[in-house]
Chains A and B, each alone.
Chain A
Amino acid sequence: MTADAGQPSVRGTAPDLFNKFQPLIDQRAALLAGGITDPFNLVMERVESPTVAICNGRRTILLGTYNYMGMTFDPDVIAAGKRALDEFGSGTTGSRVLNGTYQGHRECEDALREFYAMDHAMVFSTGYQANLGIISTMAGKDDYVVLDIDSHASIYDGCALGNAQIVPFRHNDVDALEKRLKRLPAEAGKLVVLEGVYSMLGDIAPLKEMVAVSKAAGAMVLVDEAHSMGFIGEHGRGVAEAQGVIDDVDFIIGTFSKSVGTVGGFCVSNHPKFEILRLVCRPYVFTASLPPSVVATAATSIAKLMSGGAKRTHLLENSKRLHGGLKDLGFKLGTDEPQSAIIAVIMPDLERGAAMWEALLHEGLYVNLARPPATPQGMTLLRCSLCAEHSTEQVGEILGMFEAAGRKVGVI
């Protein structure tokens, strides 16, 4: 931070605590001075379906929602939520360990246990809190957390909340992981934290090899499967299932805010002592539980995801078609082949990324603009996440919009 950034505070010489944000404030001001729509302040005035909303009065195809399985408007899911509102009220006003566990929370955990075929399931109020809670609680002071450098913010924040020793390794590099594990003291507790799908580039992890080297080193393994639930793996349990190592994973973290179509987070595990976490995990204990309508929609949605085979196939077809189409148009993509339902289009810089984002919005398409520090290697990305409810025609429309916007902005 530079000492002369911003104005001195009124009282004394202590700086305005906002000064540390001055570089970001300046960068945003410069970007918006060009007359561009703020990419981080979009309001959806109406939402018509999992794939269409009205933004600035315009019908907009949604291609950046993580609503992979399109469950947000499922009639059974909505009916379950309405019924729970009527029968249990609008909120629990309580912690899970006090007055915040209703029948619905139990049913939601039952649905998760069944979905993952695991012994234990613990529902958190958000996916962020699930990572925060499990990582900070499981890894104590003299333990080591070994994590991929491209891990999600919630994983890093889980490390920051706890007081374990943190050891990062190069993204998806099995050798780098193995080398580090071998250098750690044999007697120290170790938690290896991986993700099935990395959400910025949409690439998947070599979990088969990574879980094997972790287990060989005596480490416990946590895999965040937020971006794979419902459509990767034979039963939709994620990349660990698809690669045949789910039985060696100690903790799977997931979220309700993507494929499940509501909000909330969870951890499933087969560890016999897992239930003690309900008493010692602070992000679980010291917050209010999810509203009854939310857990009811989640439980219904999870049960339906178990039989979502046709949707799953269509989603992966959509992903393949969009990936191939964008590549043919000359866009630079985050992965050579489509590996998940996320397709990242790499922009040359933030200015052109923002211009492209706005041009797409004018065409009637919403994607995520992602930039550092959320992105790896300082990249600016237009992140597209497909939905099983995108029709084949919509994917064609999307490609047309990318072509028009790309030519207008001059990135293809």
Chain B
Amino acid sequence: MTDRDERLQTILRLIQDFNKKGVEVGEGTRFAQDLEWDSLTVMDFVAAVEDEYDIIITMNRAAEIETVGQLVDAVGELSQPGKA
């Protein structure tokens, strides 16, 4: 399993705690449209991801993330040493 696969699995696991509607989730799943998350759910989920990886995902950065796959890539970048 590559690092990216591992991150994907972790994020899919974190999503399940917030996936109240039981939507089937893959890389292409969109947070707002497909999961229908409101802003508070988004914040709680982002906080869970931040805590898992000990990173900060700013609102500026979060605004550019629409899909699960994009989040996996963003977390990969942000987790590199020296990145905030």
B contacts with A, residue count (CB < 8 A): 15
Whether A167 contacts B43 in the complex (CB less than 8 A), given A179-B51, A185-B84, A378-B38, comes out as no
Min Cβ gap A188→B in Å is 7
A-contacting residues, B29-83, CB 8 Å: 38-40, 43-44, 47, 50-51, 54-56, 58-60
With A and B bound together, what is the CA distance between A159 and B59 in angstroms? 10
Please tell me if A215 contacts chain B, counting CB pairs below 8 Å.
no
From A186, which residue of chain B is reached at the shortest CB distance? B84
Q: Are A183 and B55 in contact (CB under 8 A)?
A: yes
Q: Are B56 and A184 in contact (CB under 8 A)?
A: yes
A180: which of B39, B40, B56, B60 is its contact (CB, 8 Å)? B56
Instruction: Point out which of B50, B54, B58, B60 has the most chain A C-beta atoms below 10 A from its C-beta.
Output: B58
Taking the complex as formed, is A263 at the interface, i.e. its CB lies under 8 A from any CB of chain B?
no
Q: Pick the residue among B38, B40, B56, B59 that contacts A183 (CB under 8 A).
A: B56
Closest Cβ of chain B to A150, distance in Å, is: 9
Q: Are B43 and A165 in contact (CB under 8 A)?
A: no
Instruction: Tell me which residues across on chain B come within 8 A of A6, comparing CB atoms.
Output: none
User: Do B51 and A377 touch (CB < 8 A)?
Assistant: no
Q: How far is the CA of A166 from the CA of B38 in the complex (A)?
A: 19
Residue of B38, B55, B59 touching A168 (CB-CB under 8 A): B59
Central interface residue in B44, B51, B55, B56, by most chain A CB within 10 Å: B56
A22 to B33, CA, bound (A): 17
Tell me the chain A residues, 141-155 only, with Cβ under 8 Å from chain B: 144, 149
Q: Nearest chain B CB to A57's CB is how many angstroms away?
A: 40
Min Cβ gap B17→A in Å is 15
Residues of A within 8 A of B60 (CB): 165-166
Complex contact B56–A376 (CB within 8 A): no
Q: For A170, list chain B residues within 8 Å (CB).
A: 43-44, 47
The distance in angstroms between the C-alpha atoms of A166 and B55, with both chains bound, is 14
Contact A149 B43 (CB under 8 A): yes
Q: How far is the CB of A402 from chain B (nearest CB, A)?
A: 28
Q: Given A170-B47, A179-B51, are A149 and B40 also a contact pair (CB < 8 Å)? A: yes
Which A173-223 residues sit within 8 Å CB-CB of chain B?
A: 176, 179-180, 183-185, 188
A-chain residues with CB within 8 Å of residue B56 when the two chains form the complex? 167, 180, 183-184
Instruction: Chain B residues near A165: list those with CB within 8 A.
Output: 58, 60
CB distance from B31 to the nearest CB of A (A): 16
Closest CB in chain A relative to B53 CB, distance in Å: 10
With a CB–CB cut-off of 8 A, which chain A residues contact B58?
A: 144, 165-167
Residues of B within 8 A of A144 (CB): 58
Residue in A closest to B83 when the chains form the complex, CB atoms: A185
| Chain A min CB distance to B15 (Å) | 18
Over the window 320-333 of chain A, the binary record of Cβ atoms lying under 8 Å from chain B Cβ atoms (1 yes, 0 no) is 00000000000000
| CB-contact partner of A176 in B39, B47, B54, B59, under 8 A | B47
Q: How many angstroms from the CA of A36 to the CA of B60 in the assembled complex?
A: 40
Residue of B nearest to A182 (CB): B54
User: Of B39, B40, B50, B59, which contacts A166 at CB under 8 A?
Assistant: B59
Candidate in A167, A170, A176 with the most chain B CB atoms within 10 angstroms: A167
**Closest B residue, CB atoms, query A378:** B38
Query: Could you tell me which B residues sit within 8 Å of A by CB distance?
Result: 38-40, 43-44, 47, 50-51, 54-56, 58-60, 84
- Chain A contact residues, CB within 8 Å of chain B: 144, 149, 159, 165-170, 176, 179-180, 183-185, 188, 373, 376-378
Name the 10 nearest CB pairs between A and B, nearest first: A166-B59, A165-B58, A185-B84, A183-B56, A149-B43, A167-B58, A377-B40, A166-B58, A165-B60, A167-B56
